[in-house]
Structures are given as structure tokens and as C-alpha cells.
């Protein structure tokens, strides 16, 4: 099973990034082989739809679950269509969240925020 997590740095000692779509990197962690791969998030700099593009990256890298503090509705839709489950991170450390997930202690992310797409208004 592969876990995807938005991370601030390319290291297992990193913290979870607060933003899913705008995170600089993703960690893809294979629970079975304990292998870690860090991916650049090409969506980080995009003007709109970052969540969709970031979710596409997760799907393309064949992750089975995503651990993230929050997730927008469009990204959630992409992930749902690909049968990827979204869990909510409960602490800052990447390692702690992986352990908590393996122990079955992370809750499913149930609040999906409406995107900030469009560019009108304030």
C-alpha cells in the first residue's frame, strides 16, 4: 500500500505541509517495502486548479491513500474517482502521521473546503 503526504521538505523528518495543492513536495511512502519517494509538486505555482493538478500527480503515482490536513472539493473529486481515501493528519510530523495511520488512528477527512477558484472578489 502506498501513502501520499504533502511535505515541506524532501525528508522523512519533515513536517506535513499545511496546503495540499500548494505543497512543494509529495512523499509517496510504500508501507510494505518502506520505500520513500519525494516528488516535486508541479501544481505549486499554477494560477488556478492547483488541487486538481496535485491530485492528478497522486493518482498517477498510484497512491492508495492520502494523508493531509485539508483538501479542496475539486481535488477530493479527483481522488474519489480514483478510489483514493483521504485521512486527516493529526500532528505536524510526517513520521508520526505514518505511524498513526498504520495503527489505524487517523480519522477520515470529512470536511472538504470549497475551493478558492475563480479570481473575482476578495
- The contact set with another protein (CB under 8 A) reads 43, 46-50, 52-53, 55-56, 59, 74, 77-78, 81-82, 114-115, 117-122
Instruction: Decide whether 7 or 52 has the Cβ nearer to another protein.
Output: 52
Residue recorded with cell 493518482: 59
Instruction: Decide whether 10 or 22 has the Cβ nearer to another protein.
Output: 22
Q: Give strand pairing partners of 37.
A: 28
Contact, 28 vs 36, CB < 8 A?
yes
Question: For 50, left (φ over 0), alpha (ψ -120 to 50), or beta?
Answer: alpha
Instruction: Decide whether 5 or 52 has the Cβ nearer to another protein.
Output: 52
Q: Is 119 helix (H, G, I), strand (E, B) or coil?
A: coil
Nearest approach in angstroms of CB 24 to another protein is 17
Nearest approach in angstroms of CB 113 to another protein is 13
Helix (H) or strand (E) holding 4: strand 2-7
Nearest approach in angstroms of CB 59 to another protein is 6
Amino acid at each position: 500500500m502506498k501513502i501520499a503526504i504533502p511535505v515541506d521538505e524532501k525528508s522523512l523528518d519533515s513536517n506535513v505541509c499545511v496546503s495540499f495543492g500548494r505543497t512543494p513536495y509529495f512523499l509517496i511512502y510504500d508501507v510494505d517495502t518502506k520505500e520513500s519517494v519525494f516528488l516535486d509538486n508541479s501544481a505549486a505555482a499554477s494560477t488556478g486548479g492547483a488541487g486538481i493538478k496535485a491530485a492528478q500527480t497522486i493518482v498517477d503515482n498510484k497512491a492508495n491513500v492520502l494523508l493531509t490536513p485539508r483538501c479542496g472539493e475539486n481535488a477530493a473529486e479527483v481522488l474519489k474517482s480514483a478510489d483514493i481515501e483521504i485521512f486527516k493528519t493529526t500532528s505536524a510530523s510526517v513520521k508520526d502521521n505514518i505511524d498513526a495511520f498504520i495503527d489505524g488512528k487517523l480519522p477520515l477527512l470529512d470536511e472538504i473546503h470549497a475551493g478558492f477558484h475563480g479570481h473575482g472578489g476578495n
